Amino acid sequence: MQEENKNISLPYFGIPKILPFAKKYKYRIIAMILMGLFSSLVDSCYPLFNQYALNHYVGENTLDTLGLFIALYIGILIVQVSLNFISVFWVSKTELDLNRDLRNTSFNHLQELSFAYFNQNNVGYIHARVMSDSGKIGELMSWRMMDVVWNGSYILFVMINMVRISWRLACMVFVLVPFAIFIIAFFQKRLVKLNRHIRELNSQITSDFNEGITGARSIKTMVIESIIGDGFQKDTETMRHVSVQAARYQAFFYSTVTMMSSIALAIVMWQGGNLTVNNMMLIGTLSVFMSYALGIMDPLHSVITTISSLVSIQVNIERFDRLVNTESDVADSPEVIEKYGDTFNPKKENWEPLIGDVAFKNVDFKYPDGDEMVLENFNLDVPHGTNVAIVGETGAGKSTLVNLVCRFFEPTKGQVLIDGRDARERSQLWLHSNIGYVLQTPHLFSGTVRDNLR
């Protein structure tokens, strides 16, 4: 059974679990937020330039202060472009840095897990945790966060400007906001559910694809190509069907948002047009409201989409947290780590030389994912320099003995002694560094022969 079947929910969408990774970039993130706030403030003021130009230069038929107006506009535009460039660069860098940190943390932790974890979780599942989940979390702490900051502050600044200019007309537009929120949330809830299903199917397809390649020899030997192919085709067809459903909801979703923007614009043109005809509102002011009415729905949609995606990304955070907090079935004690170091920080100056005496003392063993005892009250002494051949039928426990000596698994009961001491009294890295393990099926890593010899 894979770990994703465990139903664990983290509070606050799991964000507190990610904050330690973001802490080292806190000053950069604060600067990003401040630039996002200033950028949205400037963006919300652009329609005010149009208002001034229409009311002053067109309405009063004059060109005085035009040079100053153009210089100010260009100056603000240059500042805005510069801020956007720096913001995009920092946000991208933060995303990539977080992705690197998250993937390094998860990959390094995988190196410390025992064989039992890899027996219970297939390669496709583990690959998705290290790559896909880390990418989603990095995106949340960079682009998604900036979406909320920029769009949320933009909506606030726009509403302040609208109320300041004409609170009556602003209230007419604001009436649509609750309906827009309801409609967007309605579609978004279904889209999140469909997208979650799509990701689950994608993980399954990745797993099937990997097993189809790594198990190619067995598949051909057993002549089950058609069975494996039919299963893979069924999964891909299911994913296509669900993806089409999601695309259909997405199409309705964006059409509805566009319709709400059009309704807001129609209200502004209807009421604002009457006010303009009756000389109660200037044409420039009407232009500002038209720009705001068209522009407020997209940021609203973006904010709700980001908030809704937190439910989806929470799953990624839970899976990542579950991975990095998975305890190995085979782990060195704190006392052993203090003396000998761990896998990535060895204290080789404290390592004793290996003599080579091996002994099994009253060993019982069963695999973590099994119920049947493989060894019961097993005893064996192998002095150093002795050649021993273990002979037996398949499943008798020959490989198990080697795995226990190498400490890939811990005995259920009893002791495995190395040079007269319990193997658990010294570090795994010390033991593995002194053992030559020949695989039944050789594995070559990608790269050159020299790379493999390292």
**Distance between CA atoms of residues 288 and 151, nearest Å:** 18
30 — pLDDT class (breaks 50, 70, 90): very high
Which token pair is 233?
A: 């085709």
Q: How are beta strands 413-418 and 358-365 bridged, if at all? A: antiparallel
Q: Which of 177, 170, 143, 136 is nearest to 301 (CA)?
A: 177
Taking 70 as the threshold, does the pLDDT of residue 135 lie above it?
yes
Summarize the confidence of residues 92-111 as an average pLDDT: 93
Percent of the chain topping pLDDT 90? 30
- List strands edge to edge, sheet with 413-418: 375-382, 358-365, 413-418, 421-422
pLDDT in tens, 144-200: 999 999 999 999 999 999 898 888 888 888 888 888 778 877 887 787 778 778 878
Q: Looking at residue 9, what is its pLDDT? A: 62
Q: Looking at residue 8, what is its pLDDT? A: 53
2 — pLDDT class (breaks 50, 70, 90): low
Q: Looking at residue 89, what is its pLDDT? A: 94
For the question of whether the overall pTM of this predicted structure is more than 0.95, the answer is no
Taking 50 as the threshold, does the pLDDT of residue 5 lie above it?
no
Which token pair is 42?
A: 């400037």
Phi, psi (deg, nearest 5) at residue 220: -70, -40
pLDDT in tens, 244-282: 988 888 788 778 877 887 888 888 888 888 888 888 888
Between 309 and 74, the higher pLDDT residue: 74
Percent of the chain topping pLDDT 70? 96
Cα diameter, the chain:
107
4 — pLDDT class (breaks 50, 70, 90): very low
> Which CATH code for domain 334-453?
3.40.50.300
Which H/E stretch holds residue 177?
helix 176-214
Place of tokens 């570090």: 427
Q: Is there a contact between 174 and 159 (Cβ–Cβ < 8 Å)?
A: yes
**Distance between CA atoms of residues 17 and 20, nearest Å:** 7
Summarize the confidence of residues 329-338 as an average pLDDT: 89
Summarize the confidence of residues 310-315 as an average pLDDT: 76
Domain positions in the chain: 3-324, 334-453
Between 335 and 224, the higher pLDDT residue: 335
pLDDT in tens, 424-449: 999 998 998 888 877 767 777 777 87
> Which CATH code for domain 3-324?
1.20.1560.10
Q: Which of 68-82, 96-110, 186-200 has the lowest mean pLDDT?
A: 186-200
Taking 90 as the threshold, does the pLDDT of residue 1 lie above it?
no
Summarize the confidence of residues 95-101 as an average pLDDT: 95
240 — pLDDT class (breaks 50, 70, 90): very high
215 — pLDDT class (breaks 50, 70, 90): confident
Q: Looking at residue 90, what is its pLDDT? A: 94
